[in-house]
Amino acid sequence: MKVFEQKKGGYLLSTDPALLDLDYIYQFLTKAYWCKGRSKARVARSLSGSLCFGIYGPEGQVGLARVISDYATFAYMSDVFIDPQVRGKGLGKWLVQSMLDHPALQDTGGWMLQTLDAQGLYSAFGFYPKDTPYEIMLKKVVSSPES
């Protein structure tokens, strides 16, 4: 897939996997409530199996989001974060809008995400709490920390 890039206010948003800083991403994600206990190998696998959007500034990587999709019927937004040191600059909104605008994701039938604390951000982009006749069902697979 062709690399998607945009620049804004001294920051670069890119889907180039070669720019991803695995050490930085791992350190950030393993402190987040949704990733505690995830191994570095699992973080690396999750990145390689997703369309990743990184944000980079003079200080290096400062943000990330992954999209898991079949590019036809469904897209799932995951591991979205902006480093606290650069929050308040509109980078999170830019990141979400860039994912929604990505050319390869325009014909998906729907988007999904899970959040405990960022409903305000996502509702501004048309996301809403589940209100369907279907129940979302989950299956948790317990695995070793090394995987």
DSSP 147: -
| Mean pLDDT, residues 128-143 taken together | 69
What's residue 147's pLDDT? Answer: 52
Say yes or no to pLDDT of 13 above 60. yes
Do 15 and 9 touch, CB atoms closer than 8 A?
no
What value does the mean pLDDT of the chain take? Answer: 90
Say yes or no to pLDDT of 135 above 80. no
Which residues are within 8 A (CB) of 18 and not within 5 positions of it... i.e. 6 or more apart?
none
In this structure, how many other beta carbons lie within 10 angstroms of the beta carbon of residue 24?
A: 15
pLDDT digits (tens, 9 = 90+) for 55-113: 999 999 999 999 999 999 999 999 999 999 999 999 999 999 999 999 999 988 889 88
Q: Give the global pTM.
A: 0.89
C-alpha R_g of the chain: 15
